[in-house]
Chains A and B, each alone.
Chain A
Amino acid sequence: MLESYAAIGMMISTAFFMGGSLLLLGWLIRPSKPSPAKEQPYESGVPDVRPPRGRYTSRFYIVALLFVIFDIEAIFLFPWAVAFDQLALYGYIQVLVFISLLLFGLLYEWKKGALEWA
């Protein structure tokens, strides 16, 4: 039991040692002379005119939010799928009702223009 983890443990510690020692070595031997020009994101390029974290258009957020809603509603289909055989036709109709309600929601936001990209 424990022995099988020993190999993994050694693997992990070796990985950390390798990575760590290389970083340490580099930090020890490299010259460090910072200057304002070097600090820029693009050292030899055009000076940047606005903050790097620019504002995204809010459509990205709206689409992401809509995705989260519809994505999560799918979890109610999993229990149904597992018990599909036992639930038979009655369960199938119930799920159809559920999905048609979701479809109505989708139609609503489509018609409202939430999915328009332009």
Chain B
Amino acid sequence: MPLELVHPDWGLIVPQLIIVGTIIAILTADLILPRDKQGAVSWIAMVGLVASLASLLTIDWTAGDTTFNEMFRADSFSLFINIVVLAAGVLAVMISSSYVQSLEERGTMPMPEYLVLVMFSILGAMIVGASGDLLILFIGIEMGSLATYVLTGFARRRMTSLEGALKYFLLGSFSSAILVFGMAWIYGTTGTTSIPEISQQVGTIMSGEQFPEPALLLALLLVAIGLAFKIAAVPFHMWTPDAYQGAPTPVSAYMSVVPKVAGFAALVRVLAEGLGPLSDTWLLLIAILAIITMFYGNVVAISQRDVKRMLAYSSIGHTGYILVGLAAYSNDVPIDMSIGSVLFYLFAYTFMNIGAFAVVTWLQHRGQGVDLDSFNGLGVRSPLTALAMTVFMFSLMGVPPLIGFYAKYYVILAAIEAEMIWLAVAVVLASAVSAFFYLRVVVAMYFNNPEGEWRPQATPLLGLGLLIMAVGTVALGFFSGPVLDLAMNWVDAFEV
């Protein structure tokens, strides 16, 4: 049997190749540079990420081109995922470089290794967004997860960091095994691993007499559970609070966004696109998951004193809101809002959530802890930082006209468009609950007296990152139109 070698279109994977090149450059710099000059590698990472962002412009995303035997796709969906992930990467590098160098027992966290792991995780998420095949999707998810496990335990002298990493790793690898077993059964029932072909095959199976085929339902369930672990949906969230609390704070910021984006990208690719014809079966499942997740996350967050742990539960709550957008999906009549609102939410969430963790990092630089009392009197000590934190808290709560409000608004619109009024009501109720613990931070900042030692320190890059995120949270709220238009283009991507 002669092999037909198809020469891949390398032009379509330039953004990913740039990241790979950056990783090699950072590793080489690690070998060449002396130990005290290694801070410079964060600039290599920044340049690489920005170059990758710029290279997105060289590709025509509307054409929906594919390469590597349709395993890799350059469509509008992958464009949006790339933008979110790369932006999160730039912000994560900005807020972490000073932390990695000066906190956590100075010198135990080598900067180049840290950045390489961050870049690998970004690459994994980008691959998931662009995947047209279960194999590529799985590789992308694992590449992202494996790097994040190590990042969680990066403060390797601190027991809590290692404990978080261990729990994250054990549950993460467990969920990967469940996910890939589900993929095996999808392959077994459809005879293909290509996502568009799976969609066709499932459509054929559905129109046949043997409905619903039990093996297909099993596969659906396994894949949904596996990915629910990755996005931290209740009841598969057990690792989240420990991992977020234990990890170094910039890593918590980073892992609350990028792996979640990768998880949602995979959910959309597999459920909405591959198993789209089965949507009647999984929509209810996702809707129930969404409700449990948003209420559990927000209610438990109320009782937390540790801010990182509180933000972990709040991020579980946000997973619930985003799932509402997915639950509004419909295979028959494409509802533009559904996946569009998921994408827009992920974009908004990137700015406000990394921002909130960045403020915690900022406080840690000034000798403060991570519990609620550290925020006491921040309004007096540093009015600008307090203002930024207020913006992030209000945005996470969903106060107009900040970006978080629009994100929730579009999710609610999607739910109403899909005639799931109860889901829309649930989002509003859960947001009302969440106001309680977000406002508590604001109250602590402005109404409590400062206490504890305060060590001023210059952190220019972190400050710049905070500024960008705070301005972005406000400005993108006012000008959410273009971003939303971009998010709505997902519809083109799915017309295979």
Contacts and interface: CB of A to CB of B under 8 A. Distances in A.
A38 to B, nearest CB: 41
Contact of A86 (B2, B7, B27, B30): B2
Given A108-B31, A111-B31, A90 B5 contact: yes
Contacts of A108: 27, 30-31
B23 to A, nearest CB: 10
A115 B357 CA distance: 38
B28 to A, nearest CB: 8
Contacts of A83: 3
B27 A104 contact: yes
A65 interface: no
Interface in B1-36: 2-3, 5, 7, 24, 27, 30-31
Interface string B77-114: 00000000000000000000000000000000000000
**Which size class do A's interface residues fall under?**
10 to 19
A86 B3 contact: yes
Contacts of A104: 24, 27
A87 B3 CA distance: 7
A65 B27 CA distance: 20
The interface residues of chain A, by DSSP majority, are classed as: helix
Contacts of A91: 5
Interface residues of B, number: 8
Interface in A25-56: none
A26 to B, nearest CB: 44
Contacts of A88: 5
A107 B31 CA distance: 9
A107 B24 CA distance: 12
Nearest to A101: B24
A108 B2 CA distance: 39
Contact of B5 (A87, A107, A111, A112): A87
Nearest to A90: B5
Contacts of B2: 86
B9 to A, nearest CB: 15
B236 to A, nearest CB: 29
A90 B24 CA distance: 23
A88 B3 CA distance: 10
Contacts of B5: 86-88, 90-91
A111 B2 CA distance: 43
Contacts of A86: 2-3, 5
A107 B3 CA distance: 34
Interface string A66-94: 00000000000000000100111011000
A97 to B, nearest CB: 11
A31 to B, nearest CB: 49
Most buried by A among B7, B24, B27, B30: B27
Most buried by A among B2, B3, B24, B30: B3
Contacts of B7: 90
Contacts of B27: 104, 108
A104 B26 CA distance: 12
Nearest to A107: B31
Interface string B467-494: 0000000000000000000000000000
B246 to A, nearest CB: 22
Nearest to B5: A90
B2 to A, nearest CB: 6
B3 to A, nearest CB: 4
Nearest to B20: A101
A86 B1 CA distance: 9
Contacts of B3: 83, 86-87
A29 B45 CA distance: 75
Interface string A100-118: 0000100110011000000
A90 B3 CA distance: 12
A104 B24 CA distance: 9
Contacts of B30: 108
A91 B5 CA distance: 9
A116 to B, nearest CB: 15
A70 to B, nearest CB: 16
Contacts of A107: 31
A112 B2 CA distance: 44
A107 B2 CA distance: 37
A90 B7 CA distance: 9
A111 B30 CA distance: 10
A108 B26 CA distance: 11
A87 B24 CA distance: 27
A83 to B, nearest CB: 6
Contacts of B31: 107-108, 111-112
A54 B2 CA distance: 57
Contacts of A112: 31
Interface of A: 83, 86-88, 90-91, 104, 107-108, 111-112
Given A86-B3, A87-B3, A90-B5, 4 more contacts: A91-B5, A107-B31, A111-B31, A112-B31
18 contacts: A83-B3, A86-B2, A86-B3, A86-B5, A87-B3, A87-B5, A88-B5, A90-B5, A90-B7, A91-B5, A104-B24, A104-B27, A107-B31, A108-B27, A108-B30, A108-B31, A111-B31, A112-B31
The 7 closest A-B pairs by CB, nearest first: A86-B3, A111-B31, A108-B27, A90-B5, A86-B2, A83-B3, A108-B31
